[in-house]
Amino acid sequence: MTTTGTGRVAGKKALITGAAGGLGQAMGWMLARQGARVALTDVDLAGVQALAAAINAEVPGSAFAYAHDVADEAAWAYVIEAAVADMGGLSILVNNAGIGGEMKYVETDTIENWRRVQAINIESIMLGCKHAMKHLRASAPASIVNISSVAGLAAAPGMGAYNATKAAVWMYTKTVALEAAKMDWNVRCNSVHPVFIKTPILDPFIAMAGGDEAKAHERLTRGIPMKRIGEPDDVAYCVLYLASDESKFVTGSEFKIDGGMLAQ
């Protein structure tokens, strides 16, 4: 069953990784409600199946769920082909899956931590772009949105692996954008850099505040001029813009969703 949305991405077909919760879930709802078909992928198959069922209850025939380990190249090849077959193409890729890794300082970090964070945060994005590109070209105009972080633009102690991989996402995005533009593929590629967003990624900070969520939020917002934690929709609306043809002359750019933090 096809959708007949008239929204900002009507007729588009999107694949979103890390879609079982948090930002990925918000993006799935946002794009589906704005007319796209969405392929929702995650290692948590039950999570994306539940999300797809909820979306389909509101927008029938628009959501599909797949088990997906983004660090596995064979999984990427399978999921891309399955999503293309189910949706009838691919015009939007949202590389959202990522992890924070362990909080480690330079003398105590481990190569195992680095390799795990690198595999999920940056190698997965290379694999996604690689396996999706031929389908994006076939469905052009198309868009890739890579989710990085303010931590990829400004460092913080104890987050070496995370900082390095999110910075790599930022620069790799520019490389893909330039290649696609110079090859006249009509595939744009941009990165999104959120600050603290109200998702389970804040749980370690709440734990460090003794389980006091308000106290944790107060600490986290001290450096944010707008004095609040971000909401998932703050990021999802940016992704919607970049996924849509409204941003048809925007590529190789970074979008900070940070309440003014990096303007200081």
Q: Report how far residue 106's alpha carbon sits from residue 110's, in angstroms, rounded to the nearest whole number.
A: 9
What residue type is 126 in one-letter code? M
66 is catalytic: no
Q: Report how far residue 249's alpha carbon sits from residue 237's, in angstroms, rounded to the nearest whole number.
A: 18
3-state SS, residue 140 = coil
Pairing of strands 92-95, 13-16: parallel
The DSSP symbol for 120 reads: I
3-state SS, residue 11 = coil
List all residues 6 or more positions away from 74 whose beta carbon is below 8 Å from its beta carbon: none
Q: Which structure tokens are listed for 145?
A: 């949105």
Cα–Cα distances in Å, from 256 out to 9, 149, 239? 22, 8, 12
Q: Which structure tokens are listed for 184?
A: 């006249």
Catalytic residue among 66, 78, 105, 162: 162
Closest to 98 in 3D by CA, of 42, 49, 48, 46:
42
Sign of CA dihedral 27, 33, 36, 37: positive
- Catalytic (active-site) positions: 162
